[in-house]
Structure 1
Amino acid sequence: MANDKYGNIDELLSGAGSDEKEDNTPRRSRRPSPALGVMTGDKRPTSVTDGLKADKQKAEKALEEAQQKFEMEKADLLKALEEAKSSGSEGAPIVLTMPVTKQEVTFELRRVDTSLIDVSPENERIQEFLDEISLQDILPSIKKHGQQKPGTLRPTKDGRFELIEGSRRLAAVKLAKQEYLALVGDVPDADVRELGIIENKHQDVSPYEKAKAYQKQIERGEYENWTQLGASKGISSSHISRYRACVELDEVFVRILPSPSDMPLSYGETIAQLKKKGERALIGKAQELLDMRKVALSEKTELPDVEEVIKILKSAVRTKVEEPKAWKPVVYKSKDGKTLKHSVTNKGATKFEITGVDDSQLEKILSFLTTTLKVDA
């Protein structure tokens, strides 16, 4: 009998508990269909693929629970520190359990000079996109009241720090010319990427930034291709196609949005389609919108939202197609009887009718036309 991680397969398939019929001939095993399993209430995986999916879902659920626990634990400890701040305990150490390694890491709440902080390469968010407009949801509050929620740092060489989570707050604090409030501790490498993902749940990165991160994972050899990456992460083939289109975006089309996070997943495909209609006009309009953004930054004026931006880009390549004009035939004649008749049909097709020429002359005419038009048979 065959056995695997899901139990005794032969017993599952036989349905009876015996491998022989009454006439002692071997019973032929048949795998029950998934539909039959549902009808009979059987929730056992019907294939190895189903089992792997179940394992993946179980692991993802466990990791999500660990993330939630980490956030709750962090919030409770920060609340306790806030209450005790008056007694001078802001620098007191706190201990947090990491979501991946389950290690307990001791953190110290500190204020750090922003010039000493480097954003982790594992952070998916592209820092160059963070300006006063894209940070308008947190910047005014930080300027007025200071940074209230700390980020996470770990010490590196030469007295510097690697930012694990809180890059938007770091950018806002830099603009406000303040020190950065952070929990500083020796976070294990395995937890670095996961803590960055926790941060992005509060303000998700754009499809462009996510697609760039996926591309890096493929380039590092974590996945062989986009199809494998999509299957592993549970992303549909249509969404994977849209992420691939986002990777091809010129940065100018990301920068013209109020915030990269406003970008719809279909944005890359939309821009690719508009390029086919008029790439030069499209890029020209995008540059105009980027100039508008620079003015808005200096003069504190409002920018069009993402839907308005897409409408403006579409209008830039929306040109009226003129109906072709038909030409009346024009006939050219030579003294030795040769004629050339030239006309244009109402569908815009040019026609030449030549009479009185020999094969060698016709070949020269044909050679001239194919060479001039750079066409081949």
Structure 2
Amino acid sequence: MSKDLLYQVALPIIPQVGGGTARTLVKYFGSAEAVFEAPKERLVKIPRIGEVLVKSIMQSKSSALRQAEEVILRAEKEEVRLLPYTHPDYPERLRHVPDAPLLLYYKGNADLNAQKVISIVGTRKSTEYGRLVTEQLVQGLLQHDVLVVSGLAFGIDILAHRAAMKIGLPTIGVMANSVETVYPAAHKRDADKMLLNGGLLSEFPFGTKPDAPRFPARNRIIAGMADCTIVVESTSKGGSLISADIAHSYDREVMAVPGPITSETSQGCNQLIKSLKAVPYTKPKDLEELLNWDKALAPVALQKTQALDFSGFPEEEQTVLKTLQQAGPTHIDVLSRHTRFNMSQLSALLFTLEMSGIVKAMPGKLYSLV
């Protein structure tokens, strides 16, 4: 049993230690193990870590370590992967959001860092219109080999999962409970199929029930994993609007399917579009243009770019410049994946290159050579 994994599993088990707090502690002390070994005098000096939380850490760390041992053994037995946020297979897009979970429980075989990831969400009370749109939407993703993410719920969520499985696209169900229990139980057969080409993902430890407060927490993972979150149908107060708002707060793209003004299940989508929080989705090309997929997919041989000498630039800047030269105007998320720079690094590099006059920012979070 890995000692490092033991402490990373144990830390979020401590009461009142959420993902953001856990990462603050790890960043301050250098490792999860160091947090457990820190004396009270050092813990109280950390900004925004109050006396109540320090008391909880001091009182609960021994029991948390014992529980973590049990979690690791159970995970091995049930073939569940434990992914701390430092693990290379942890979803990279999710890692950089401010409230990313410290630890994920994952059962499946899909690449959580697929080149293209789309989240599809919507009302549990979906209509025939929603079903047709969801199937057409997913069909349009096939040529791009997209990983489809949703919440395994009734309505649009399960329709998206089923549509993906039907055409062979991998699909991930993000759960508001622990991965060993499928909720709702009616989707158990679908969940089993998803393990063959996709998987189930949760931040909640074994034995966690799907209580109401956990669904908004689940929604932030759905939004944080994806390049774009698409709302197919939603009432004016639908839970999928939470996913859209979270994605918007993460500076990720959001799309919504417009619907009849007489339809209750389209009111939320129409409002997202009206308030400029979402771009309308009416056909696959809308998504392709928004995420610049047509440019990113264009063969290098067809890119009519003039050979430029970047030898005078630092190595990291050269990487960005060569990628832009090959791909043309590129969305910042696509650029991040191609260069393997995290968003903070990439934003700093792009700012420097803009100041140098060789790169320009374009609408829609696109960047290109001048």
TM-score (ref. length: structure 1): 0.25
Higher RCO (C-alpha 8 Å, min separation 6): 2
Higher-Rg member (1/2): 1
